């Protein structure tokens, strides 16, 4: 067997600890698959005194990841710090400058600097690998980059954030509101103390930007991802969606053609028969459409020590076996400049919930505005009667261009009979 592959691990939190445990448990089988044993020669973390369940006494300890990346004896830097700037970025750049491979789980770093880091890796003749950055334990990076290499991918969509999926699943199952379920998710460890990156859609958007680059051969373009979160979804929305035959999911969606690519993260109504509709709790899913293979569905745990460490170990094994390759499926210089399609041109159906004063003629005013925008209505739900008091009205609208829909909502919101801003959820009829 060849010489051991030496790794330096920056960050010993949940994922770093999980990786050390995996190497201790499955190190022998990993060595057989990669043709080399894996040896941890250096680590870096904030707290040297913390018990991580693994003996680190014989391993070089560093307080600064960039210093470790420059001075330690290793072949692969495993970056598990997180963050798009600062120590994580400096450590990766230092590793490339020293001629070392990098394995990272850092989607924020890659979403902001992925193209530049890929170029730096190629210039140094080393590998940048990031299976763990998207969808945790699902091997979706390898699947798109290698398994679907013979296809032109026309679209992909998926559940890319387990925290949001857990919250939405629990809201549907319990009838409780967002705030209550978020608090519960924080107590269970599924949501951070500051959950903004998750519930506002930013984490999913980071991951989507990487998938879009891989699938469409473009530079990473996080700045042009349309992002909406889940804070405005109500328990009533799940009730109405269920009656209409839909589930509500926070989806990352990318599609396009010759004119460019549209990347978007937003709550979505999907038919109950769609592949993603049955994916609940903390699980993730990605669905791709290839011209030769057709529809492919990937489902698994999207976060946590074990699943994410599994993905990190897969990248380390590839490097041990000499299976390198370009980070985004082709040379970084060959990636096309991303041409972003605006949301105004998105065409599809819409769900709209509004509060209106219950009096004669209100619905006629609303439908008149829709008519003026050439938008046709599929169905309407109104619960109960409360003369001269606000009541919920839900509209399901046929496919139309988003710019028309936004214009109609602005006009509807201006009516004196509408008591609060209408709430819109896009409909995607996947699997229908």
Q: What pLDDT, in 10s, does the model give residues 263-299?
A: 999 999 999 999 999 999 999 999 999 999 999 999 9
Domain of residue 247: give its range: 140-299
Q: What is the CATH number of the domain that holds 377?
A: 3.30.70.260
Helix axes 14-34, 305-320, angle to 10 degrees: 40
Element (H, E) at 332: none
Residue 230 lies in a domain: yes
Backbone angles phi, psi at 5, to 5 degrees: -85, 120
Token digits of residue 153: 């991918």
78 and 188 co-located in one domain = no
| CATH code (residue 89) | 3.40.50.720
pLDDT of 41 over the 70 cut: yes
Q: Which residues pair with 400 in a beta bridge?
A: 348
Query: Both 145 and 292 in a single domain?
Result: yes
Between 266 and 185, the more confident residue is 266
Same domain, 144 and 203: yes
282 phi and psi, to 5 degrees? -85, 5
- Distance CA(335)–CA(209), nearest Å, equals 14
pLDDT digits (tens, 9 = 90+) for 109-135: 999 999 999 999 999 999 999 999 999
- In the block, tokens 């053609």 appear at 257
Number of domains in the chain: 3
Residue 431: the pLDDT is: 67
CATH code for the domain of 166: 3.30.360.10
d(CA 275, CA 84): 32
Inform me whether the pLDDT recorded for 221 exceeds 80: yes
Q: Which of 86, 91, 99, 114 is nearest to 43 (CA)?
A: 91
The candidate with the shortest Cα–Cα distance to 90, out of 98, 337, 190, 180, is 98
Q: How far is CA 135 from CA 83, 141, 210, in A?
A: 17, 9, 11
Q: Directed axis angle between helix 107-124 and helix 202-216, to 10°?
A: 40
pLDDT at 74 over 70: yes
Tokens of 306: 């074990």
Query: Do residues 207 and 266 share a domain?
Result: yes
Do the domain assignments include residue 334? no
Catalogue the E-assigned strands of 230-329. 246-257, 260-271, 283-290, 294-301
Q: What is the pTM of this model?
A: 0.94
Task: Give percent of the chain above pLDDT 70.
Answer: 99
DSSP state of 410: H
Same domain, 12 and 124: yes
d(CA 122, CA 138): 26
> Are residues 146 and 268 located together in one domain of the fold?
yes
**249: annotated active-site residue:** no
Q: How many residues does the chain have?
A: 432
The residue among 299, 317, 333 that closes a domain is 299
Of these residues, 89, 107, 142, 207, which one is catalytic?
A: 207
Specify if 253 maps to a domain.
yes
Comparing CA positions, the residue from 394, 397, 384, 385 lying closest to residue 355 is 394
Residues 106 and 146 grouped into a single domain: no
Listed residues 240, 270, 299: the one ending a domain: 299
End of a domain among 133, 157, 189? 133
Tokens, residue 311: 């993905």
Report the Cα–Cα distance between both ends of the chain, in Å, rounded: 52
CA distance 258 to 88: 36
The chain-wide mean pLDDT, for the chain, equals: 93
Q: Are residues 271 and 146 in the same domain?
A: yes
Tens of pLDDT along 312-363? Answer: 999 999 999 999 889 999 999 999 998 999 999 999 999 999 998 888 888 8
Distance CA 22, CA 105 (A): 16
User: For residue 50, what pLDDT is reported?
Assistant: 84
């Amino acid at each position: 067997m060849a010489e051991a592959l030496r790794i330096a691990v920056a960050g010993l939190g949940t994922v770093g600890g999980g990786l050390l445990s995996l190497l201790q448990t499955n190190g022998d089988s990993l060595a057989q698959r990669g043709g080399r044993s894996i040896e941890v020669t250096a680590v870096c973390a904030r707290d040297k005194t913390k018990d991580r369940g693994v003996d680190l006494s014989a391993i070089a300890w560093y307080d600064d990841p960039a210093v470790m990346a420059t001075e330690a004896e290793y072949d692969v830097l495993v970056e598990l710090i997180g963050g798009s700037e600062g120590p994580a970025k400096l450590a990766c750049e230092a590793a490339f400058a020293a001629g070392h491979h990098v394995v990272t789980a850092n989607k924020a770093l890659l979403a902001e600097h992925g193209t530049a880091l890929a170029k730096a890796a190629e210039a140094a003749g080393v590998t940048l690998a990031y299976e763990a950055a998207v969808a945790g334990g699902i091997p979706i990076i390898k699947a798109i980059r290698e398994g679907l290499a013979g296809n032109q991918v026309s679209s992909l969509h998926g559940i890319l954030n387990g925290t949001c999926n857990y919250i939405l699943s629990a809201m549907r199952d319990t009838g409780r509101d967002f705030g209550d379920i978020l608090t519960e998710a924080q107590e269970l460890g599924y949501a951070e103390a500051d959950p903004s990156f998750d519930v506002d859609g930013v984490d999913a958007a980071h991951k989507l930007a990487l998938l879009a680059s891989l699938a469409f051969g473009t530079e990473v373009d996080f700045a042009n991802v349309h992002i909406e979160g889940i804070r405005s979804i109500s328990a009533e929305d799940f009730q109405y969606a269920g009656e209409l035959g839909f589930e509500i999911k926070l989806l990352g969606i990318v599609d396009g053609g010759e004119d460019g690519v549209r990347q978007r993260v937003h709550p979505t109504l999907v038919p109950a028969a769609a592949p993603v509709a049955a994916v609940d709790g903390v699980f993730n899913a990605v669905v791709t459409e290839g011209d030769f293979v057709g529809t492919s569905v990937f489902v698994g745990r999207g976060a946590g020590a074990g699943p994410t460490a599994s993905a990190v170990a897969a990248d380390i094994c590839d490097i041990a076996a000499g299976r390198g390759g370009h980070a985004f499926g082709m040379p970084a210089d060959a990636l096309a400049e991303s041409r972003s399609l605006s949301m105004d041109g998105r065409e599809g159906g819409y769900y709209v919930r509004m509060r209106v004063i219950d009096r004669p003629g209100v619905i006629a005013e609303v439908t008149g505005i829709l008519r003026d925008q050439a938008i046709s209505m599929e169905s309407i739900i109104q619960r109960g009667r409360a003369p001269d008091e606000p009541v919920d009205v839900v509209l399901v609208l046929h496919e139309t261009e988003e710019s028309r829909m936004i214009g109609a909502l602005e006009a509807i919101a201006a009516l004196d009979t509408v008591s609060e801003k209408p709430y819109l959820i896009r409909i995607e009829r996947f699997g229908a």
